[in-house]
Structure 1
Amino acid sequence: MKINNYIFLALVFFLISSCKEQKKQADKIEKKQPNVLFIAVDDLNTMIGSFGGPAKTPNMDRLASMGVSFTDAHCQAPLCGPSRASLMTGLRPSTTGIYGMTPDNEIRREGNPTTKDITFLQEYFENNGYHTMGIGKLFHIHAPDSTFNESGGRVKGFGPYPEKRFVWDGFGTADKKKYGRTSTDWGAFPENDTLMPDHKSANWVIERLHKKYDKPFFMGLGFLRVHVPLYVPQKWFDLYSIEDIETPPYKFDDLNDIPPVGLKINDLPMMPTTEWAKESDEWKKIVQAYLACISYVDYELGRVLDALENSEYGDNTIIVLWSDHGYRLGEKGTFAKHALWESATKAPLIFSAPNLPKGKKINAPVEMLSIYPTLLELSGLPAYSKNEGISLMNMMKNNEGLKDAHAITTFGMNNHTIKTDRYRYIRYEDGTEEFYDHSTDPNEWTNQAKNADYKTQIEKMKKQLPKNNSKWDESSSYSFQPYYVEQKERTSGADNKPLKIIGAER
């Protein structure tokens, strides 16, 4: 009997020890699960320092040195709302029909069969054991209700604003009945950084980086700048001497070979034209203000990176920095995104992670749509079957897929552009086309769509166009340009009344 008791006690001891060891191993595995810092910068083009641009961006450059930079990344729509909806759902605009601005809470709804059951990026992490947090502009406004465990919300608009605009009234030469008003303006305002909403957003994130969590976290941070109005304190303007500012390449008759649909899309009379900027001596000042805004955001990014490095999470956090689209600073005759040309679709994309190369640059074209699946693979999470983008993990680690890489951008129903390493092909809804060879024409000044020498290449790129072109989603609208009002009504018979979206002034 005594022997049996000893055996029983030994067995109990063994089971307890085994359970403790398993718990230790589980804790180790849980601790190794990486955190995610997801950083969106609004309207940021590729003028940052590490991408060869003139902007003074020591912190973006620092982040680039920590990981992998994609110097030819492209948005899925050259407009905030549909671009962000695409990235956060993992679906193309041509799949969802979300071509315009859509209230955050209307992206996933019964009326849209492609999105009614979608799992947003942050939700996927929550479903896989993450504590999710977010502040600022992540979707078009902030985020759909209750999709973050902790939400810091979003300050309304893109302020702060002075009592009177400095230069631009927001209407330009536009017919106020047909066009919206833009937030476009530029100048030094306010007096200091602490008055900027982005400063408060950075503070919110920094505070949370000093807390302890019992599970890995997903932290979303959406900066409002570089979105217009181009207002930041004077000290950021002082970084750039107006005499040293270089304006982008521009050709007066550049649009003479553009199809009618392309001209309608580029019809933006509420924006300053390049000719006006030249004649009024404001062009360099607009570029200076844009660069000042980039440097300001870079400063706020630096504060967040410092806090992360000084926290217990510095060695085990994935960071991705991206923008929703590029921004034209006089190219193609205006100052805006709103186009299927290079300067509107291209934006920075940088990944940093413990298991990625450091300081690597990849020049192959990629899509912002790839952020969702890439973050899942970097985090060791199972792939999400509904994602239409592809993970960039093998490209970053093994240089796989470089040869066939391409990116697709869509603006409105059945208007698409495809970018490869050398070419850009644009096809509009009526079948008219543009084609550019970047090896001889990096500024996209000469439309070669009718040049027989490129016929084979054009046919090849046509095959990469989206096969599905969904009608406009009922809740998606873009009343800022008459063309999109007309297209939605013509293709779906749906009403395209302006949506009351807080902070939606362009």
Structure 2
Amino acid sequence: MFKHLLIAAVAAASICAVAETEKPNILFIFADDLSYETIGAFDILDIDTPHLDSLVEAGTTFTHAYNMGAYNGAVCVASRAMLNTGRFVWGTYQHDTGPKMKAEVEGGRMWSQLMNKAGYRTYMTGKWHVKAQPSDIFDVAANDRPGMPRDFWRQGSADGIKPKHYGYFRPVDEEDYKNGWKPWDTSNGGFWEGGKHWSEVVADDALDFIADAKEHEEPFFMYVAFNAAHDPRQAPKEYIDRYPLDRIKLPENFVPAYKYQDEIGCGKSLRDAALAPFPRTEFAVKVHRQEYFALITHMDDQIGRILQALEESGKADNTYIVFTADHGLAVGRHGLIGKQNMYDHSVRVPFMVVGPNIDKGTENTNPIYLQDIMPTSLELAGAPIPDYVEFKSLKALLEGKKAEHYDSIYGAYKNQQRMIQKGDWKYIAYPTCDGERLYNIKSDPFEMKDLSTNPEYAAKMKELRSGLLALSTDLNDPLDYNDPVTSWKKAAPSKSKKAAH
């Protein structure tokens, strides 16, 4: 009897040892244009996201995750290039051409390739928007999508956009909305192109990946990237109906126009800004937020399908799930619509981690960059982090072993905007027009009280200006603050050869 018990105990110990050394799976779920405030569990907005809420409850939320910036209007391009190469924004800028990205792929330096070298079977679906072919760097790639769905055109003209799109400069008023474009109209394509909503296609692909992973011994790395909640913000009508306009609260920091909108590149010539009419109206902003929330809730339901399939596969207990987004979105805050600004609604994103030995229902307030997930996944996989990867692993923070991560957070948009956030303070500079902003984000989380001209904060302004200049130097920012136009033109990387994708 004792002998049988001893054998059983040894066998159990062996199984535990195998389980402890088995490499974890990584499920990376990535949204587009998703502000940090759009998770219902955060209790900031009246929005339904039950499945994302479940990730908040089941894991650790990094409350202050940021995108470092962008060098063109498509902020997602820089964000995704940083994510997949591990380089900070200005190193990425120099590498973000077709030939140089091709060299990255050929050198096996992309995120998924590093995971593959660590023994992982890699999968990808959805929005890519990186100058490389997914099929060259993932074991399985399905339905890789462009930056956004193709738009639908009509003849005519409008300020900044010619010819005019159905989905732009709308709605002017209730009559215009009644007679105009509708987000549930499948006839105009967009997210409906191909016959099924793209968010549903991404979920379908993820379910196929999970089924395929069950047939392989290798651990899996899944890169599941939704185009939602990017415009055109199309969702089935039942999701729109869940958000009647009387449920939509006007943003606390709503204004009809942002003071520096033209000088900082957020005027009528910017595609994102042209989605709503100028000046912004309360009605137009509520409609855009209604459609934004509906698309997010629809995406949340697709994420619920993925989480259920993972649970049913038997692999959930050994899988790290990470959810974040490439950047946020204004959707009417500060008179802005897009993501090309340094306010928290546009640079800050949700960031949740669930998995083995991750504390449940906890918050980590350390400021991080969303791209930190790249080296984090490598460390979780037991793989080396290459020297060229500049972002930092979060593993120590997840284990409670490290109190600090970054001393300050940097932000940039082309040559027109710069930002430093340190402690409770955020300083924004507009180099091309000498504009400045100063906010205490602890006492003023919606950044409504600009303190830059208050003499009481002159010393703080000086401190943060100096901090921003030092950080710009450390990050090889090509901008000369004294000559932002000429220095920016000189900084552009060579694009003599056609981009790979």
How high is the TM-score relative to the length of structure 1?
0.77
Query: Any residues of structure 2 matched to 1:211-226 within 5 Å, and which?
Result: 211=212, 212-226=215-229
Structure 1 residues 349 and 369, CA, compared in 2 at 3 Å: closer, same or farther? same
Q: 1:189 to 1:368 in 2, by over 3 A?
A: same
CA contact (8 A) 1:417 1:424 kept: yes
CA–CA distance in structure 2, aligned partners of residues 463 and 428 of structure 1: 15
Structure 2 vs 1, CA of residues 155 and 389 (structure 1 numbering), >3 Å: closer, same or farther?
Answer: closer
Shift of 1:246: 0.5
How does 1:104-115 map onto structure 2 within 5 Å? 105-106=98-99, 108-109=101-102
Does residue 135 in structure 1 map to residue 101 in structure 2? no
Map 1:283-294; keep pairs closer than 5 Å.
283-294=285-296
Q: 1:345 aligns with which of 336, 344, 347?
A: 347
Q: Which amino acid aligns with 1:310?
A: E
Aligned to 1:67: 59
Show the 5 A alignment for 1:198-277: 198-211=199-212, 212-250=215-253, 252=255, 255-256=258-259, 258=260, 263-269=263-269, 270=271, 271-273=274-276, 276-277=279-280
Partner of 2:27: 37
Amino acid at match of 1:62: S
| Structure 2 contact 255–333 (Cα < 8 Å) conserved | no
- Aligned-pair identity in percent equals 24
1:47 aligns with 2:32: no
Match of 2:338 among 329, 336, 339: 336
Tell me which moved more, 303-312 or 395-404: 395-404
Q: Secondary structure at the match of 2:136?
A: coil
CA drift at 1:293: 0.4
Task: Please state how far the C-alpha of 1:255 moved relative to its aligned partner.
Answer: 4.0
Point out the more displaced range, 212-221 or 418-427.
Answer: 418-427
**Residue 339 of structure 1: CA displacement?**
1.1
Q: Decide which of 150, 159, 167 is 1:173's aligned counterpart.
A: 159
Change (3 A) 1:329 1:170: farther
1:466 to 467, 472, 489: 472
Q: Any conservation in 2 of the 1:273–1:333 contact (CA below 8 Å)?
A: no
Number of residue pairs matched?
Answer: 452
Deviations 1:49-104 (A, max 9, x none): 022232200100011111111222111226110011112111111233259xx56x
Contact kept, 8 Å, 1:319 with 1:353, in 2: the verdict is yes
What secondary structure does 1:209 align onto?
A: helix
Give the counterpart of 1:187 among 183, 188, 198. 183
- 1:95 counterpart SS class: helix
Gaps of 5+ in 1: 1-20, 473-483
Contact 1:413–1:469 (CA<8 Å) still a contact in 2?
Answer: no
Please state whether the residue corresponding to 1:410 is helix, strand or coil.
Answer: strand
- Cα contact 1:96–1:470 (8 A) shared by 2: no
Give the SS at the match of 1:38: strand
Q: SS at the partner of 1:36? A: strand
The CA deviation string for residues 358-384 of structure 1, in whole angstroms up to 9 with x for no partner, is: 111223322113111222233333333
Distance in 2, Cα, partners of 1:250 & 1:497: 43
Instruction: State the shift of 1:469 in Å.
Output: 3.1
2:419 pairs with one of 417, 420, 443:
417
Distance 1:404 1:141 in 2: 29
Alpha-carbon distance, 1:154 to partner: 1.6
Deviates more, 1:407-416 or 1:120-129: 407-416
Q: Which runs of 5+ in 2 are unaligned?
A: 1-10, 169-180
Which residue is equivalent to 1:386?
A: 388
- 8 Å CA contact 2:322, 2:354 repeated in 1: yes
How far is 1:398 from its partner?
1.6
Aligned partner of 1:149 in structure 2 is 139
Distance 1:334 1:427, change over 3 A: closer
Instruction: Give the equivalent residue in structure 2 for 1:84.
Output: 80
Please give the per-residue CA displacement for 1:372-415, whole angstroms capped at 9, x wherever unaligned.
12222333333332222222223233273359653222212584
Deviation of 1:460 after TM superposition, in Å, equals: 4.1
| Partner Cα distance (2:101, 2:500) in 1 | 16
Provide the alpha-carbon RMSD of the alignment. Answer: 3.8
Partner of 2:439: 436
SS, match of residue 328 in structure 1: coil
The verdict on how the C-alpha distance between 1:66 and 1:171 changes in structure 2, with shifts beyond 3 A counting, is farther
SS at the partner of 1:227? Answer: coil
* Equivalent position amino acid for 1:189 in 2: D
Q: SS at 2:224's partner residue?
A: strand
- What amino acid sits opposite 1:362 in the alignment? N
Quickly say closer, same or farther: Cα 1:217–1:171, change in 2 above 3 A: farther
Letter of the structure 1 residue corresponding to residue 409 of structure 2: A
Letter in 2 for 1:50: A
**Which of 432, 448, 451 does residue 451 from structure 2 map onto?**
448
CA distance in 2, matches of 1:95, 1:346: 21
Q: Tell me how far 1:495 sits from its aligned partner.
A: 8.1
The DSSP-based 3-state class of the residue aligned with 2:350 is strand
**One-letter amino acid of the counterpart of residue 200, structure 1:** V
Q: Is the 8 A contact 2:99 2:499 kept in 1?
A: no
Deviation at 1:140, TM superposition (A): 4.0
Which range moved further: 135-144 or 84-93? 135-144
Partner of 2:18: 28
Q: Which amino acid aligns with 1:466?
A: S
Q: Distance in 1 between the 2:435 and 2:337 partners?
A: 25
Deviations 1:399-448 (A, max 9, x none): 73359653222212584312234211123446753221224433323433
- Aligned position for 1:475: none
> 1:164-188: per-residue Cα shift (whole Å, max 9, x none)?
78xxx997521649xx979657622
The 1:75/1:285 distance shift into structure 2, 3 A limit, reads same
**Equivalent position amino acid for 1:351 in 2:** V
Residue of 308, 311, 315 corresponding to 1:306: 308
Amino acid at match of 1:220: Y
